[in-house]
Amino acid sequence: MTGARPHLGATTARRSFLTVLVCAAFCLLAGLLAAPGAQAHAELVSSDPPDGTHLTAVPQQVTLTFSEEVTVAQCAVQADGKPLPVHGEAGHPEIIVASLTGIQAHDGQLVLAWRSVSSDDGHMADGSLHFPVTAAPADSSAAVATPETAATAGADTAIAIPGPDPAVKDVLVAVRIVGFAATALFIGGLAFIAVIWPHGGAERRTRRLLTGSWLLGLLTVLAEIPLQAGYNALRPLSGIFDMAAVKDLLGGRLGTELTARALLWIAGSVVLASLLQRTHEAARSPGWRIGLAAVGFGLLRTTSLPGHDDTAHPLAGAIADTVHLTGVALWFGGLTVLLIGVLPRRRPEELAVVVSRYSNLALVSVTAIIAAGLVLAWHLVGSLHGLLGTSYGHLLLLKAGIVAAVLMLAQHSKAWVRHRLDVAVLLDGDRATVRPFVYSVAAETGLALAILVVAGVLVTSSPGR
């Protein structure tokens, strides 16, 4: 009895620690969910005066309206390479105003380059505005742009403000992809053990896999903070540890999202530790499963927030994005645990049960991935031209092609796998009969990883319109 009391006290302390962390993370998450949804980038919706307008003189200021809230301090407007003073407009966080005092037109043209930074996800967009400037208006009507003048203005060579260091962007994309994979593996792997293979918590390879995915997930979110801050502040890779830039990042919505995700990863350590200590008892415990569901939902939602939620349909976009990521996590995480944890044991009776259960889970997961993916694709692309005529659409088609290849592979191998496992069970544990199954699962896991890589690139790309 005396030996049980410290254990009981430690268990109570861990549960209290988990409760505090989950509550703190979900308070941050609730604030994020209450905010409006966002597109991938703050794109220019309109300007005053409109792009292509014939002007008789350089105006005192130009007002730019974007598709979502922007961080005014990080936005920029230039004329002939000269930075212009910019400020926001009270009550309209999606608007910036650039002062043109002292600016002159050259060769009858006023060309402005702009760069926007989304306040919720740090994504950048850029472009330019062209205004023909003449000594007198062409007629007495108001100076309004026509299709012909806009086309003439657009024919000029576009200019752009220098953007983030490509090395910083590349590393940030790589870190996000690794973070996506770690999140999917951690959540999907734990769900696989909870629903399909409770004894997997005692398997050494599976324990290492889940511990590694947790550590990788925490490290990636910690690395993303200085990288995102350096990206926003246009720092080189060697200057990403700028405390002023990090402070600016953490003071915004994206910083809140990253903080919530870090807290959720710490809470996830308590869920993982409970499984490692109590193995199948924890996996079958309703309390442990509720904790896993809470941490898993929080991680998936905070992972999807800097992605491509839909502005026009924020609730539908949030639901579709979360369902899509949940399906990917269950599919990819389950495949990896099956490949690393279950198959090396070469136990046909166990495989016959586990594979049958996983097949049902994978069917539901892939169905959810496709259905939610179609909703997201339509909301983000919105047209056939956006799908076929933009780099974002091409990446989306590549992702769809890989999914189709996975479905074809799974359909082709389904009957073969069932036959192989049936024969293995009848032969009373012939391990050699099971061995070819490893190659099928490994191929599907590799394709799933390729899908995660393409998805990571899509998150940092601008949707075609």
Extents of the domains making up the chain: 11-36+165-459, 44-154
Q: Tell me the one-letter amino acid at 408.
A: M
Alpha carbon separation from 351 to 128, 167, 186, 354, 385 (Å, rounded): 59, 45, 22, 5, 46
Tell me, what DSSP letter sits at residue 77? Answer: E
| Site of tokens 């752009």 | 160
Q: What is the DSSP secondary-structure string of 80-149?
A: TTEE--EEEETTEEEEEEEE-TT---BTTEEEEEEEEEBTTT--EEEEEEEEEB-SS-SSSS-----HHH
* CATH number at 44-154: 2.60.40.1220
Asked if residues 159 and 179 have their Cβ atoms less than 8 Å apart, the reply is: no
pLDDT at 210: 96
Q: Mean per-residue pLDDT for 296-320?
A: 70
Alpha helices in 196-252 (DSSP H): 204-232, 243-250
- Residue 381, CB-side half-sphere exposure with 13 Å CA sphere: 22
Beta bridge mates, 95:
65
Task: Give tens-digit pLDDT for 253-302.
Answer: 788 889 999 999 999 999 999 999 999 999 999 999 999 999 999 999 88
More confident residue, 459 or 327: 327
> 0.85 exceeded by the pTM?
no
Asked if residues 450 and 405 have their Cβ atoms less than 8 Å apart, the reply is: no
Q: What is the CA radius of gyration of the chain?
A: 27
**Rounded to the nearest 5 degrees, what angle is found at the Cα of 96, between the Cα atoms of 43 and 47?**
60
Contacts of 66 by beta carbon, 8 Å cutoff, 6+ apart: 42, 43, 44, 45, 94, 95, 96, 116
- φ and ψ at residue 69, rounded to 5 degrees: -65, 140
- Torsion sign across C-alpha atoms 437, 217, 207, 18: negative
Q: Decide if pLDDT at 353 tops 70.
A: yes
Contacts of 88 by beta carbon, 8 Å cutoff, 6+ apart: 72, 95, 96, 97
* Cα end-to-end span (Å), the chain: 68
pLDDT at 145: 44
**Rounded to the nearest 5 degrees, what angle is found at the Cα of 337, between the Cα atoms of 11 and 189?**
45
- Confidence band (pLDDT; 50, 70, 90) for 146? very low
Task: Give tens-digit pLDDT for 21-49.
Answer: 555 555 544 444 444 333 446 678 888 88
Q: Mean per-residue pLDDT for 318-336?
A: 87
pLDDT at 249: 85
pLDDT at 17: 52
Of residues 334, 330, 354, 262, the one with CA closest to residue 299 = 262
